[in-house]
Amino acid sequence: METPVAEQAKATEVSVEERHYNIIGTRPIRHDGADKVTGKALYGADVRLNGMLYGKVLRSPHAHARILSIDVSRALALPGVKAVVTSADLATLDSVVSRVGEGAVNWRYLSNNILASDKVLYHGHAVAAVAATSLNAANEALNLIDVQYEPLPCVITAVQAMRPGAPILLQELRTNELGARGEIPTNIASHDQNMRGDLERGFAEAAVIVEREFTTGIVHQGYIEPHTATAVWGTDDQITIWTSTQGAHDARRQVAEVLQLPVSRIKVIPMEIGGGFGGKTVIYLEPVAALLSWKSGNRPVQVTMSRFEVFAGTGPTSSSVIKVKMGSASDGRITAAQVTMAYAAGAFPGSPVGGAMSVILNAYRMENVQIDGYDVVTNTPRVAAYRAPGGTNAAFASESVIDELACKLGIDPLEMRRINGAKEGDRRVDGPLIRRIGYLETVEKARASAHYQSPLPAPSTPGLKVGRGVASGWWGNWPGGTSSVSVIVNNDGTVNLIEGSTDIGGSRVAMAMQLAETLGLQAADIKPMVVDTDSVGYNDVTAGSRTTYSTGIAVHKAGLSIIQQMRERAAQLWDVESASVDYADGVISSKDNHIGFKELARKVGDGDGNVVASISISPNGDGVALATHIVDVEVDEETGKVQILRYTAVQDVGTAIHPAYVEGQIQGGAAQGIGWALNEEYVYDQQGRLLNGSLLDYRIPTALDLPMIEAVIVEVPNPTHPFGVRGVGEVPIVPPAGAVANAIANATGVRMTVLPMSPQHVLEALWTQGNERV
Amino acid sequence: MANKTAVQATINGEDVEFLCEPHQSLLEVLRDVLRLTGTKEGCNNGNCGACNVILDGVLVNSCLVLGVEAQGKRITTIEGIAPPHGLHPLQQKFLEHAALQCGICTPGFIISAKALLDHNPHPSEHEVRHWLAGNLCRCTGYDKIVRAVLDAADVMAVEVSK
Amino acid sequence: MASVWIPSLLRDLTGGIVEFRVSGDTVNDLLNTLDERYPGLRARLCDKDAIRPNIALVIDGLRCQKGLRERVAANSEVHFVPAISGGNLNNKSDLCRMS
């Protein structure tokens, strides 16, 4: 007997040869587009309510300190100030870990991150908040809150935090080794391992071995819209929150947990969101705004972060140290790989080292491998997910080493990927057998591309060095979570699609297209809308590249229900058995009759009720996707400046629902990866204070830094989705750093082992001829 | 407590009068006093371009202009770009090229691109990238934005020549 | 019989054995059977009635959501893979409350 898992996989089996789509693969204008280009779309900070107060947060000036006392009396006395809150207004939560989104959350730590309790753990850690009748009064009030600190020594990097004798951040923390708890206080929150085969034998078989240690800095998601939340704690104790979030239901759940209230007392209204990339799956301001509302006499309170607060007070992603030792036979086959990686989680445990352990070698087949991953706390902001969390750092390391092996063996770098590339039926490095993937197809497409086939351009100025590099990337995507949708057929034959998946990049049009395809209608016949937590069933966050996949499955299933109901209505109309009624391409027919969807919709309703469907699903699935990127760079060896000349990103997307937005995801992810590769990092002083918390000094790519990015879509449909979809948003940020590093090596002969490869770091590497680091 | 100043300006072709405090930026005035929330705040110190408006024909970051400086000036915000019915070619091309994903930077880009095309109707790709370097986008990688602006320039040139 | 793959950090409990053929209808059955032979194995992977939140359950290459209740087929492969990120486990874990 087949298990539900296998049955579901079979039910959605898609044969490539049978595919022909009317709507999928076209490029309709997005439904929310007109509002977004005219400034009418309302984002979180655009909310305006009568009597609204402005909230601001006081943040720690110290990287690590005990809070001795907080005196808010002077702030409360300032005219215009209506409320002040500290962690004393929050319940003390148990140190309990729950599955939230793709990972896990410790509720006490989340609460402590929102408002510090007995210690501040990073420069920028929230300590208190005020609400006042003007922004100016709120800012002035912050200066009147007296906090007495006892500064403590701090640790900024994983290496510092792991040293014996390092200052301990959390006294109760013990190393967790897959359920076994360590004995001594530590900053090492966890150790996990993937291992198989015989490392010693594998290295003994190798003709060439490369061993390198890589260091990467802290980078931020860098969304242009700062975090914001507006809350009203009603006199009936119902709390309404308007926020820019990647998941309204998830935010509601987190707020409920932190405030120790039942979720039914909280309604979260998701506004349009100005970028997230994973960073807006965690709450920061929502409970603060709610408490300020309650304390100010139930007035609306809006709290919006400044740009500095976004950098200093919200989750960037982890800095890391990654050691890779890899051996290859003379024919290019990788015979062994050993990896040790330590990721800095920031103030509380939960770095994406688990994701890193999967990314680092999952694109390849190998028998003898050991990967050890460490999650380490540091006096930096607690990390949040950032687009393929853990992946970019990991691929920077492994793709550099594979490239170096290829160079030493005289094997073309794409050929090296082809020789070792994973395919269906192979066993993944982290254990499971691989289902259908399109990795080798991306390698082949990259090799055949105009970019790869063209010679390197000449330098723009004599003396500059030009080079080409390639890199691949793997991401598992999150082919699951829970998605709920409601579908209503209107009397004129248009269809309302009610979703809870917040739209961070154009997903509502992709959902509408999947429903249109299912029903045989046009995309413009579907009206997608994203609604609040009271109005639709539970939806997990729009993250993990799960939305087009999971919400798409829900949409498809709802469409099938609509089809069944339309067949039944036609059967009633024609007085035949519904089994004899067919539905194809929006036309309902039986032996002697046929009618179009819209015409039938007009006839539905008189005395029979509407045609509606409500679906909630939690699919088991597979969404693995891979990419191969090519980059040409020009290096100025006098200044260390690296310019991107040409960029091609080849990615297996399964099926591109809306190719323009798929291309956009690939280009956007590549651009973030390039910024990470060349410029972006947090800079701290000796006291652990963030020095570059502005968009001037935290340098993200501008239009002048990038060329056109050629996005090449490969489609190897995913059999576990009705339309073959794989998540597309995260994979493209994984290869760029490795590709750029390999291009710099090709141009200059120097292997970069530090991110970012900023002019300073490139010069250091050039001057030390091979970047030998102490 | 500071006294408010009465300011008269022309915004999107309409004469308006508003009160603001001396320290309030034009951005704050637009969003919080006049409730024109189409102009966005991304950094509040002139580094992202999300707050771009056109002030007497000049592209500015409204976070770096004081509200009181608007006295007697003509200001164009994103709310004033579209004609009474339909969309401006820039807006239309942004949609056709899928030159936005989250859309938060889009008003700033459209204002900035309009300012470019107002004085340079036939920019090269490099000129477009150079001009738009003051507008940060984190979602798109700029590829489709640049294409949309170049395409809009072609369309607008055709319309002018008609 | 389904096959259960043992994460490398737990192989000292199983004497180094990586893969086991185990009979049972659900993941819960499989782990209970294994725990009889190797006491303590289940407690490493689970906290009371749930797989620990920092562990992802992958059956036949599919990410599965029902945890211990997930059904397995005669020839299923069951893997426990590190989740993308885990919180730290101090006291107890808690099932995802979807209310």
| Model pLDDT for residues A653-688, shown as the tens digit of each residue | 999 999 999 999 999 999 999 999 999 999 999 999
Pair (B101, B139) in one structural domain: yes
State which residue of chain A sits closest to B104, comparing Cα positions.
A274
Query: What CATH number is associated with residue B18?
Result: 3.10.20.30
What pLDDT is attached to residue A716? 96
The subunits that touch chain A, with at least 3 C-beta pairs less than 8 Å apart, are B, C
Is pTM beyond 0.90? Reply is yes
- Asked if the Cβ–Cβ distance from C65 to A2 is below 8 Å, we say no
Among B36, B82, B141, the residue with its CB nearest the CB of A668 is B141
Number of domains in chain B: 2
ipTM over 0.90: yes
Domain with CATH 3.30.365.10 in chain A: 320-478+621-767, 480-617
* Extents of the domains making up chain C: 2-82
The CATH topology of domain A320-478+621-767 is Aldehyde Oxidoreductase; domain 4 (3.30.365)
Both B63 and B38 in one domain: the answer is: yes
Residue A397: the pLDDT is 98
Fold of A44-152+227-304: Aldehyde Oxidoreductase; domain 3 (3.90.1170)
Q: Enumerate the residues of chain A whose CB falls inside 8 A of the CB of residue B143.
A: 663, 667, 706, 708-709
**CATH fold group of domain A480-617:** Aldehyde Oxidoreductase; domain 4 (3.30.365)
Token look-up 């966050």 returns A541
In the structure encoding, which two tokens stand for residue A578, read together? 């519904």
Please, what sign has the CA dihedral across residues A666, A642, B46, A142? positive
First to last CA, chain C: 36
- Closest-CA residue of B relative to A33 is B95
Distance CA B27, CA B53 (A): 9
| Fold of the CATH domain C2-82 | Ubiquitin-like (UB roll) (3.10.20)
Residue A33 CB contacts under 8 Å (≥ 6 apart), including other chains: B94, B95, B100
Residue B95 lies in a domain: yes
* Helices and strands (H, E) in chain B, number of each type: 5, 5
Least confident span in A48-62, A82-96, A559-573: A82-96
Average per-residue pLDDT for chain A: 95
- Alpha-carbon span A733 to A278, nearest angstrom: 13
CA neighbours within 13 Å on the CB side: how many for A242? 18
For residue A697, give every residue at least 6 positions away whose Cβ sits within 8 Å of its Cβ, in sequence order, or none: A683, A691
pLDDT digits (tens, 9 = 90+) for A628-656: 999 999 999 999 999 999 999 999 999 99
Comparing alpha-carbon positions, the chain A residue that sits nearest to B82 is A38
B141 lies in some domain: yes
B102 and A223 in contact (C-beta within 8 Å)?
yes
Q: Which of B45, B79, B113 is the last residue of a domain?
A: B79
End-to-end CA separation in angstroms for chain A:
59
Of B47, B79, B128, which is closest to A696 when you measure between CB atoms? B47
Q: Which residues contact B85 (CB under 8 A, 6 or more apart)?
A: none
Does B68 share its domain with B129?
no
- Reported as half-sphere exposure (CB side, CA atoms, 13 A), residue A85 has a value of 28
Q: Distances from the Cα of B6 to the Cαs of A136, A281, B53, B68, B75, in angstroms? A: 19, 42, 21, 8, 17
Mean pLDDT over A92-99 rounds to 82
Task: Name the pLDDT band for A101 (thresholds 50, 70, 90).
Answer: low
User: Which of A478, A482, A561, A481 is closest to A515 using CA atoms?
Assistant: A561
Q: Which domain holds residue B145?
A: 89-161
Q: Determine whether the interchain pair A263/C9 forms a contact, defined as Cβ–Cβ distance below 8 Å.
A: no
Last residue of a domain, one of B79, B110, B128: B79
What sign does the dihedral A319-A325-A331-A335 (CA atoms) show? negative
Q: Is residue B74, in this structure, part of any structural domain at all?
A: yes
Query: By three-state DSSP, how is residue A13 classified?
Result: coil
CB < 8 Å from C in window 96-155 of A: 96-100, 102-106, 109
B110-129 average pLDDT score: 98
Among B49, B79, B109, the domain boundary falls at B79
Same domain, B140 and B94: yes
Task: Give the pairing type, strands C55-59 and A81-86.
Answer: unpaired
Closest to A483 (Cα-Cα) out of A348, A615, A298, A674? A615
Grade residue A402 by pLDDT with cuts at 50, 70 and 90.
very high
Distance between CA atoms of residues A388 and A221, nearest Å: 11
Whether B84 maps to a domain, the answer reads no
Minimal Cα–Cα distance from A209 to chain B, Å? 37
Give A643: exposed, middle or buried? Use CB within 10 Å, 0-12, 13-18, 19+. middle
- Does pLDDT of B152 surpass 90? yes
In this structure, the strands spanning A369-377 and B58-61 are unpaired
Banded model confidence at residue C97, pLDDT cuts 50, 70, 90? very low
CB contact under 8 A, A433 and C97: no
Bridge partners of B20, per DSSP, are B5
Question: Does residue B154 share a domain with residue B134?
Answer: yes
Return the DSSP state at A89: G
- A358 reaches C (C-beta below 8 A): yes
Indicate which CATH number applies to the domain containing B144: 1.10.150.120
